[in-house]
Structure 1
Amino acid sequence: MIFQHNRRLSSLSCQLFSRYIFGNGNCCAKLRPTSRPFSVSAQCRIMELTGFSQEQLDVRDAIAKICSDFPDEYWAERDESGIYPQELHAALARDGWIGIALPEDLGGAGLGISEATMMLQTISQSGAGIAGAQSVHANVYATQPVAKFATEEQRKRMLPRLISGEFKACFGVTEPSTGLETLKLRTHARRDGDSYSISGQKIWISSAQVASKMILLARTTPLEDVKKPSEGLSLFFIDFNKNAPGLELKRIKKMGGRAVDANEVFFDDYRVPVDTRIGEEGQGFKIVLHGMNAERCLLAGEALGLGYVALEKAAKYAQERVVFGRPIGQNQGIQHPLAAAYMNLEAAKLATYHAARVYDSSGKDSNITPHAVGVACNSAKYLAAEAAFIACERAVLAHGGMGYAQEYHVERYLRECFVPRIAPVSREMIMNYVGEKVLGLPRSY
């Protein structure tokens, strides 16, 4: 089966799953599909589960149980108020879920991006949507390069308190003047003795208002002084002290996902120690790529969750809403668009979990090339985002006028589904990538 893994549960993972599923810390021998004493919420049932590994199913059940404490009304209120969902982050951190794909020796679960994708999809599919998933999104994927390339001392200093929830992290790459041209970043970090002085601007930085750490990509060698544009960038894991001199934030008002803040961040001679740099100076772009492919998988999962929950609500409404003496779901004009949306989601699901499996296997199988990983992860993000958009749009239309009302929640999903279509890389850039790298067509940008 396409999703099946042979990896056994780690001891910590067993404890996590057992605690949520059985209320104790017994080992994974008790994790049986027929033994779950609770049912996953109705909004998580529409997806076909055949082919997933037991680990993925256990993650899904455990996360769904946590999310059941956060109903639609909670997310509607957070969307209205723009207040960060601290309670969900704390609940996930309490038993180590923030570190689902981080090493056990640091307090993580030692699982893969396949399981992390399932976690974020389940959060989104619970009704939390993109906002709920994005409350932990950067903490899951942006830490991957740190775990892989940091020194042992740095890993122990930087990651355990993030996994425990004491710290929250944001990810600083995008800039207003360069956008998708990552290799032309202008934020620079100038070495000055045992510290770096950072100056520049970042934009669309999620969770910066609540974060105490930032994983930052900055230029340490001017672009004109390097042989290749990919050189001269360095990755940092820095204290994000909003009271320190040289750091300023400006919140961006946005269309959807309002519970998680988006920001412009301004650095002006912001000082950080040299030992916050991850890996060698000038090699940051190669290092950060390790997290970017992971992010595409995670965002694909979040898009899937949003599409499935929208479709679930639309199907329920179509069963219950009676017009001209019959449920509207009996009409093919309603039924067929929803059925097509479901098949789109199922196809995108296959692509998403194939990409996650390829990503997880790439470090152990030399036959899996970086090219294969990049194509799989980018394709999955594209397909899942498009499938989610179709599902959310059709969910609103199936509700008719009430689809425009906040109380039915599908309008919130439609506003949020634009995020995976735009970020972290646009649909058009993914098609450029596939056209050039797969089809051998001339570079178009």
Structure 2
Amino acid sequence: METTGFTENQMTVREAVATLCAKFPNSYWQEHDQNEQDPKEFHAALAKDGWLGIALPEELGGSGLGISEATMMMQTIAESGAGMAGAQSIHANVYATQPLAKFGSREQREGTIPKIISGEWRTCFGVTEPDTGLDTLRLRTLARKSADGQSYSVTGQKIWITCAQVARKMMLLARTTSLEEVRKPSEGLSLFCIDLDRTSSSSYSPGLDMRKIKKMGGRAVDANEVFFDNYQIPADTLVGTENQGFKIILHGLNAERCLLAGEALGLGYAAVARAARYTCERVVFGRAIGANQGVAHPLADAYMRLEAAKHATYHAARLFDQSQSTTSTTNIRQDAVGVAANSAKYLAAEAAFAACERAVLTHGGMGTPPSTTSSGGCASAWCRGSRLCRRR
């Protein structure tokens, strides 16, 4: 990646996080993916060095930096070889806490955020539902307030909730006024910071159930269906004002989109770099395959797409930070942040997909993962000892 134009803080983050990630080689991530094992050591290492609080207030134990620096952190993690497993193991702790830091009560902020920063607690984002997908305004999980106003009863279902098995807290978006009773769909939503109570390691409190989703890839981090059946939560878990949850959650969703765009960039740059190295090493008909335009040009095109998406991504992150700043003289509208963040996520994802696809094609028959023996070593004689081997 061309790094001209980044701030000193961003480059410091990139260097320091890359140094930490180097302690977790590709073999670590392959083993955790194959064994469906949470990368808790990686999460702990980032927490120990304070990275989980990169974009959270200093008075709560954070670094007081912005989503611009957090996006650089997530890009560096994905680019290191940790990929989406490394990113997903920690990114909700960065973006899901943004609404809590801005709109939460003093008790919520001081009682929750420092424990997330320290790594004692992990959090997850409870938004997506089976029948709504990206149509957040149509979600139907309902939180009914009790007659005495002391609690809410939550009924509904969430899906594709990452790290729910290891999370202590969930940022839950639910309806406090049903869809049929509101004037427009953006009304009637509320945000809660709730406990995912467990009576043991394998069972949950009454009214709460989780079912792990079996995945073909990305298995180092868990994905879940979460079921609520009159699950009781205290009234003081409400974040901000009741029925204003959609406006509040945008501070988390826009941050999420910036971070995910950075993660996509990391995947894309890593793929192009590996493919480019291989084109110099693979010799056919007496010369390296990278000397052929049919190989070199698609990779160059992929790199330029990543560079363009990079500018969109960090533009969105800057707008987000400026919109949150109390000292900025520029008034940044939230809808402008939303347009930039959505655009960045889409462009970066498209660029990363193209880069990864072309990297696989560049490797030809070696573009597929090598088969493994029962002992865990590579079965391919070519793969053993190669610098491209993911087990090195």
Cα distance in 2 between the residues matched to 1:321 and 1:249: 48
The equivalent of 1:353 in structure 2 is: 314
One-letter identity of the residue aligned with 1:129: G
Give how far 1:333 is off: 1.2
TM-score (norm 1): 0.80
SS in 2 for 1:78: helix
TM-score (norm 2): 0.91
- Going from structure 1 to structure 2, the CA distance change for 1:152 and 1:411 (only over 3 Å counts) comes to farther
Cα distance in 1 between the residues matched to 2:205 and 2:330: 45
**Mapping for residues 356-375 of structure 1, pairs under 5 Å:** 356-363=317-324, 364-375=328-339
Deviation by residue 1:18-76 (Cα, 9 ceiling, x = unmatched): xxxxxxxxxxxxxxxxxxxxxxxxxxxxx111110000000001110110011111111
Q: Which runs of no fewer than 5 residues in structure 1 stay unpaired?
A: 1-46, 413-445
Tell whether 2:193 aligns with 1:232.
no
Give how far 1:368 is off: 2.1
Cα distance in 2 between the residues matched to 1:181 and 1:303: 22
Counterpart selection for 1:189 from 143, 148, 154: 143
Cα distance in 1 between the residues matched to 2:278 and 2:34: 24
- Range with bigger deviation, 251-260 or 266-275: 251-260
Give how far 1:366 is off: 4.3
Question: Alignment RMSD, CA only?
Answer: 1.6
Give how far 1:180 is off: 1.9
Q: Aligned pairs, how many?
A: 366
One-letter identity of the residue aligned with 2:16: A
The equivalent of 2:64 in structure 1 is: 110
- Going from structure 1 to structure 2, the CA distance change for 1:251 and 1:410 (only over 3 Å counts) comes to farther
SS in 2 for 1:159: helix
Cα distance in 2 between the residues matched to 1:215 and 1:143: 8
One-letter identity of the residue aligned with 1:208: A
Between Structure 1 and Structure 2, the one with more helix by share is: 1
Tell whether 2:33 aligns with 1:79.
yes
The equivalent of 2:123 in structure 1 is: 169
The equivalent of 2:133 in structure 1 is: 179
Cα distance in 2 between the residues matched to 1:61 and 1:246: 45
CA contact 1:395–1:410 (8 Å) conserved in 2: no
Q: Which runs of no fewer than 5 residues in structure 2 stay unpaired?
A: 199-203, 371-377
Tell whether 2:214 aligns with 1:253.
yes
**Mapping for residues 284-433 of structure 1, pairs under 5 Å:** 284-363=245-324, 364-406=328-370
Cα distance in 2 between the residues matched to 1:204 and 1:411: 31
CA contact 1:403–1:411 (8 Å) conserved in 2: no
Identity of aligned residues (%): 68
The equivalent of 1:421 in structure 2 is: none
The equivalent of 1:125 in structure 2 is: 79
CA contact 2:257–2:345 (8 Å) conserved in 1: yes
One-letter identity of the residue aligned with 1:349: K
One-letter identity of the residue aligned with 1:401: G
The equivalent of 1:214 in structure 2 is: 170
One-letter identity of the residue aligned with 1:203: I
Tell whether 2:169 aligns with 1:205.
no
One-letter identity of the residue aligned with 2:69: E
- Range with bigger deviation, 347-356 or 240-249: 240-249
Cα distance in 2 between the residues matched to 1:81 and 1:410: 22
CA contact 1:310–1:410 (8 Å) conserved in 2: no
Deviation by residue 1:297-348 (Cα, 9 ceiling, x = unmatched): 0000000000011111111111111111111111111111111111111111
CA contact 1:405–1:411 (8 Å) conserved in 2: no
One-letter identity of the residue aligned with 1:179: G
